[in-house]
């Protein structure tokens, strides 16, 4: 069943999937790569600082064997020797400790980056299940780990056996000469062996790092259904987005109808389109569209305008052009200034005529560029 489920995971992991895995502490890691870098750093530091380390070791040796009669009877000799030996020991160990610490931090950074996960620190008692552990042994990852262990045993063990056989004369010479020279020669042999051991482990670690990266990506792959579910979760389902748009439209229409009584004129066409304009020459550079609609919404605009005694002017081309070019809350474009000015002048003249009992003027027929009507040119 697990193999079948893995075969269904054909899609590359999303950023959200990778982020959730990192939060759980699941990152590509290679213990072999980390171990090899630590060993190489320790051996390389030991070889490069070997001469200084020998001097510090001689100093420790002298502190325990060379002292004056006065120092012996003063009672401070043990404390003096202890502090001196500690100082020299720190000088020997410090470069190696710093190098191995940097290597231990650098290896995870190269492969998966540094990461802290509180969830990974929580105890998981299911890991103590012996049946599940037995299943992991025969799983793909278990077989790969077994193969790596056998490969390390063969490569590193074989290399060290070859070295011991080829270095046999040098090893035998270490006990026949001067003590200092024998110690130096022994340390040199150990350093070279450690360096070869680190290089062999590094080769295995490099191969393991490639495998761990591949295996991590394989384990994080997703099925098509999981990818669709994630997109729905992040973007919202089409039904939810449609409902949100519907609510937004209702709220926008409600605000529009609340602003409609402030209009100075409503330009209609005569049944399909309705556009309400507001103009205050003291505050506005140009007239502003505060409401617009087609069909049923246009009818509602006309009813509200009639109830508030807002003039309605029939100018079909201008109504279509305003609807096509100007959003609610925007000023009319400069290309429609003249046409809109004619309508506003007409409204003003009608008000004056009614006030003074005069005959109202004829409604204007403003000319509009047909291209400004956009898709409503033939409506």
For 95-123, what is each residue's pLDDT tens digit?
889 988 888 888 777 776 666 555 555 55
Stretch 88-98: mean pLDDT: 88
Question: What are the structure tokens assigned to 178, written together?
Answer: 């001067």
pLDDT at 340 (0 to 100): 92
d(CA 12, CA 223): 9
Residue 319's pLDDT band, with cuts at 50, 70 and 90, is: very high
Stretch 3-31: mean pLDDT: 71
For 339-361, what is each residue's pLDDT tens digit?
999 999 999 998 888 888 788 88
pLDDT at 2 (0 to 100): 46
Q: Which residues contact 313 (CB under 8 A, 6 or more apart)?
A: 265, 266, 267, 268, 343, 346, 347, 363, 364
**DSSP for 24-91?**
TT-----HHHHHHHHHHHHHHHHHHTHHHHHHHHHHHHHHHH---HHHHHHS-HHHHHHHHHHHHHHH
Q: What are phi and psi of 285, to 5 degrees?
A: -80, -30
- Output the average pLDDT for the chain: 79
pLDDT at 311 (0 to 100): 92
What is this structure's pTM? Answer: 0.47
Residue 171 has pLDDT above 60, yes or no: yes
Report domain extents, the chain: 2-222, 261-376
Q: Which of 135-139, 173-177, 249-253, 371-375 has the highest mean pLDDT?
A: 371-375
* Lowest model confidence (mean pLDDT) among 216-225, 238-247, 362-371: 238-247
Q: Which residues contact 306 (CB under 8 A, 6 or more apart)?
A: 312
d(CA 70, CA 75): 9
Of 3.40.50.150, 3.90.79.10, 3.40.1690.10, 3.40.50.300, the CATH number of 261-376 is: 3.40.1690.10
Stretch 40-64: mean pLDDT: 80
d(CA 319, CA 313): 9
What are 82-85's contacts with CB under 8 Å, separation 24+?
84/59, 84/60, 85/60
For 251-305, what is each residue's pLDDT tens digit?
878 888 888 999 999 999 877 899 999 998 888 889 999 999 998 899 999 999 9
pLDDT at 1 (0 to 100): 45
pLDDT at 248 (0 to 100): 76
Stretch 124-149: mean pLDDT: 61
Q: Which of 162-166, 206-210, 234-238, 338-342 has the highest mean pLDDT?
A: 338-342
């Amino acid at each position: 069943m697990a193999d079948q489920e893995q075969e269904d995971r054909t899609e590359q992991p999303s950023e959200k999937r990778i982020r959730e895995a990192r939060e759980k502490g699941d990152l590509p890691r290679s213990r072999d790569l980390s171990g090899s870098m630590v060993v190489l750093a320790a051996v390389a530091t030991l070889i490069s600082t070997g001469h200084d380390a020998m001097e510090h070791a001689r100093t420790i040796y002298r502190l325990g064997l060379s002292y004056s009669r006065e120092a012996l009877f003063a009672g401070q000799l043990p404390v003096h020797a202890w502090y001196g030996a500690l100082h020299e020991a720190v000088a020997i160990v410090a470069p190696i400790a710093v190098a191995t610490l940097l290597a231990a931090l650098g290896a995870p950074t190269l492969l998966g980056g540094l990461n802290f996960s509180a969830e990974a620190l929580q105890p998981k008692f299911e890991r103590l299940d012996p049946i599940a552990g037995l299943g992991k042994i025969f799983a793909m990852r278990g077989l790969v780990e077994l193969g790596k262990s056998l490969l390390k045993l063969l490569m590193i063990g074989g290399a060290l056996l070859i070295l011991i056989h080829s270095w046999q004369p040098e090893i035998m010479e270490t006990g026949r000469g001067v003590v200092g020279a024998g110690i130096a020669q022994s340390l040199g042999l150990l350093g070279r062996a450690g360096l070869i051991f680190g290089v062999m482990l590094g080769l295995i670690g490099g191969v393991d790092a490639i495998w761990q990266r591949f295996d991590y990506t394989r384990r994080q792959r997703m099925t098509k259904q999981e990818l669709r579910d994630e997109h729905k979760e992040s973007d919202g389902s089409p039904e939810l987005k449609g409902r949100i748009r519907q609510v937004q439209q209702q709220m926008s229409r409600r605000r529009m109808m609340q602003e409609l009584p402030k209009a100075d004129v409503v330009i209609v066409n005569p049944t399909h389109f309705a556009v309400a304009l507001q103009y205050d020459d003291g505050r506005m550079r140009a007239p502003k569209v505060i409401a617009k609609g087609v069909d049923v919404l246009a009818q509602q605009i006309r009813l509200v305008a009639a109830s508030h005694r807002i003039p309605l002017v029939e100018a079909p081309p201008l109504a279509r052009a305003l609807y096509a070019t100007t959003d609610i809350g925007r000023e009319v474009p400069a290309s429609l200034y003249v046409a809109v000015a004619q309508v506003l002048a007409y409204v003003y003249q009608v008000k004056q005529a009614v006030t003074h009992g005069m005959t109202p003027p004829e409604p204007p027929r403003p000319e509009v560029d047909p291209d400004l009507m956009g898709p409503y040119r033939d409506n």
